[in-house]
Structure 1
């Protein structure tokens, strides 16, 4: 059974404590949002889990395997920007992780095309990144992460730089793709509405050094649609989280 366990993670940059003794658990098939103010350490925690940044203390295990300080090993990541290779086509970008893993060319391109179709870009495989809009580039980034078939998907504010309309569309696309196989997801966001709309559980973080102010189990059934954002329970949860964050920032 898939399972992520983060235990006692601490990280200091210079004289600044960013994370102090942080722990969390993510169960198989669970979508968890990490919500908090800028600079509180959410993205740093995600990068530690992905092995891109070393922790000063603590341990990360995935499916029972100690992955602390290691990259790869069942994780896919979608960054704030798509971070595509400009010299590779959309299809080649999606296939990159499989290429690194040594998957034969014909097989990896076939799988990459499947995931491009899944994100609605099946006709754009031969396009270069500069020929794609920001939203389309981000779709390619999502397809690239799913293509390696990770058990854990790490998403660091993937829609933060997009316009409202594109963000709403990609939120629905992400839900649709995720519901097909229910991977574990850790999703970093500043958006209260985005967190409540996408996640099964929301961890609300304080200002730096981060600690969890609240853990909220989102009460809405799936599949979810845009109308839920007007539900009185949704609006009340959004208000409560907003007040919690505002109070933490001002004290």
Structure 2
């Protein structure tokens, strides 16, 4: 069967994403507490691009984020003392002072990925594809004195995007303390952790298979919604959109749905989200 062009059309969800569903914690730890032990992203495997995780950024029409797609992953440092519900065996060394930096490896054309400090009225950094921040931002809440707990759990920060689509963002944890050998840091920096962010609702790919006649549709399914793939032969105002397969419950991951008997047709696809009531 000769394959014809399949077009992608992405629909916007019908309600805002529940803020509780957006909340996640990405934790900085360390391989050990001795001099030059590297920092780690203790639970980074759950967020890494290879895990299928994608962080949804929801469009804001009012408030300080109006005109941006916004959301949050809270970056934390694991506690090293009982004072902060520790000690966690994966925590960095006492006296370390942990900060982070951001890079933007990929973004939609013209899109900018931003980081906002708590209470700020504009992003403190805004990065396009291929750009990296030169600044560092603190995660540790202590003053970095010798023997102090590197723990940090700062709320109120946000990540934003200016254009809809998929962004690949890198995070690196850095120890900037002066409590190591020779007045330098205790830990070496972490590896860069790459995380997907999705601004708005976006179909990442449509892949027809001429051999089976099936079509695979891959999209980011934000938590808090049941997502339904729909197809149509056109995108006219009176187009008829037909549900394809069963709806999928969003879990902030990329999902792939397989649809039979569509590969030989010209089709437009969209995904529609219906809020899930707890």
- Give the structure with the larger helix fraction: 1
**TM value normalised by structure 1:** 0.22
Bigger-Rg structure (1/2): 2
